[in-house]
Structure 1
């Protein structure tokens, strides 16, 4: 993987915690629900939903990276955690593009400078996935 177009907040190796609200905001969804949201986003974006980090241990969280400050433009439903600019520091682990990054990895390719998940589309998909009536 080339590192030419990667933002400077993506580490060269391993993984590092990054303060949200500075370079990106993150929307976190747990387990299979996160994968379902990602699947729908990928379908709606021709397989290019934007930068998504997956935790492969523990809660198996999926982190959708959106533009900094964009998380507060929406009311996120229960079951979603919003990491953005706030009164207290919030950090998200960011893996390197290659190598040993356990327990994190890029579920979609690492971001290109200035490219993020579309927050409006993400909100619509998350809301549809998590708020639909049981059958």
Structure 2
């Protein structure tokens, strides 16, 4: 691991470049594409006073924004339209790109880098922010299904 990764003890972040990591092992993730993803990242940054947890952005194709959440936190939950979940629930296998903390990582960059191995985006805050931003109110009945 490079010095920055070692100092932060973020073992799921690659040393250089970027790598695909299996979702549901160390983390789950959600992706929101385009300007909506950027707005959601900005909203999370504002809501959490600058500490939303790890969020990465993609500079090509659909300009995706990836939010890294605790493992097991995205399955069996209702998410707003436009949110794509990555997890290992229900017989699925998903892979998520993860950039290194420094060096050449194009087309991925950290919007907010991880601060340690156990710090992730808070699922309830992200779900509520996405619901508010995309005009999709969440209800207790949806959560139970």
TM range (shorter): over 0.9
Listed one character per residue, the Cα deviations across residues 62-107 of structure 1 (whole Å, up to 9, x for unaligned) are: 0000000000252012111000123122101101000000111111
Could you say which residue in structure 2 is the equivalent of 1:62?
A: 65
Partners in 1 of 2:85 and 2:131 — Cα distance?
14
1:45 is aligned to 2:83: no
Partners in 2 of 1:73 and 1:111 — Cα distance?
27
Partners in 2 of 1:70 and 1:110 — Cα distance?
17
Aligned length: 133
- SS of aligned partner of 2:66: strand
Could you say which residue in structure 2 is the equivalent of 1:35?
A: 38
- SS of aligned partner of 1:33: helix
User: 79-88 or 97-106: which moved more?
Assistant: 79-88
What does 1:1-135 correspond to in 2, within 5 Å? Answer: 2-3=4-5, 4-86=7-89, 87-131=91-135
Whether contact under 8 Å (2:12, 2:117) holds in the other structure is no
Aligned-pair Cα RMSD in Å: 1.6
Structure 2 unaligned runs (5+)?
Answer: 138-145
- TM-score scaled by length of structure 1: 0.92
Partners in 1 of 2:115 and 2:63 — Cα distance?
20
How far did 1:2 drift? 2.3
How far did 1:131 drift? 2.1
Moved over 2 A (4+): none
